[in-house]
């Protein structure tokens, strides 16, 4: 379909929980294709609909040989094992920080045709599933950084060429897990 403009940190759509998809129609198919084309053009491992300004629970992923999309995804950890590693985001381009995530997860949802999908992932795929699902909940990976790293991240974001200064703080996450900071 079409490569779309990615929304950057500071855009309120990135802090707004996305709505469940109820219509598995041509518009959804077009959205999935736009997500895919944009993700591939930008070289990302994943891309969520809110990053294109669309408030629906949809994301695409391409992590090594694992690739696809999920609609209305829900993930669960397969065990208690965690991984700590570099994470980035197409909505925070060019900047990376260490972030702790579950190492092994399973995600369940649907494809764009309304058929059930289950994806099991470890390492990068598990990180991607969690990261993209966070986007659907209005959560950014910055919210998962420790306080010291988060403050340093905000300093780097403020210096980034793409940042327009619209959001000076991370206190805007509406997610109940984080509340007001």
- Binding-site residue numbers for Fe cation are 89, 131, 135
- Is 132 tagged catalytic? yes
94: left (phi over 0), alpha (psi -120 to 50) or beta: left
- Spatial CA neighbour of 35 closest among 2, 71, 75, 74: 2
- Selecting among 81, 132, 147, 156, the annotated active-site residue is 132
Rounded alpha-carbon distances, angstroms, from residue 72 to 3, 24, 53, 58, 145: 22, 11, 17, 6, 25
Looking at the annotation, which residues are catalytic?
Answer: 132
């Amino acid at each position: 379909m079409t490569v779309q403009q990615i929304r950057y940190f500071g855009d309120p759509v990135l802090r707004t929980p996305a709505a469940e998809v109820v219509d598995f129609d041509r518009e959804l198919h077009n959205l999935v294709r736009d997500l895919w084309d944009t993700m591939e053009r930008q070289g990302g491992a994943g891309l969520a609909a809110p990053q294109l300004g669309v408030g629906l629970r949809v994301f695409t992923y391409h992590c090594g040989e694992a690739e696809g999309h999920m609609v209305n995804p829900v993930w669960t950890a397969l065990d208690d094992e965690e991984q700590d590693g570099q994470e980035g985001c197409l909505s925070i381009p060019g900047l990376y920080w260490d972030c702790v995530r579950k190492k092994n997860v399973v995600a369940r949802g649907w494809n764009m045709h309304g058929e059930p999908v289950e994806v099991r992932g470890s390492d990068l795929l598990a990180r991607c599933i969690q990261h993209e699902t966070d986007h659907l909940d209005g959560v950014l990976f910055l919210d998962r950084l420790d306080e010291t790293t988060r403050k340093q991240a905000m300093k780097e974001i403020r210096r980034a060429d793409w940042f327009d200064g619209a959001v000076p703080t991370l206190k805007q996450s509406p997610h109940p897990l984080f509340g007001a900071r």
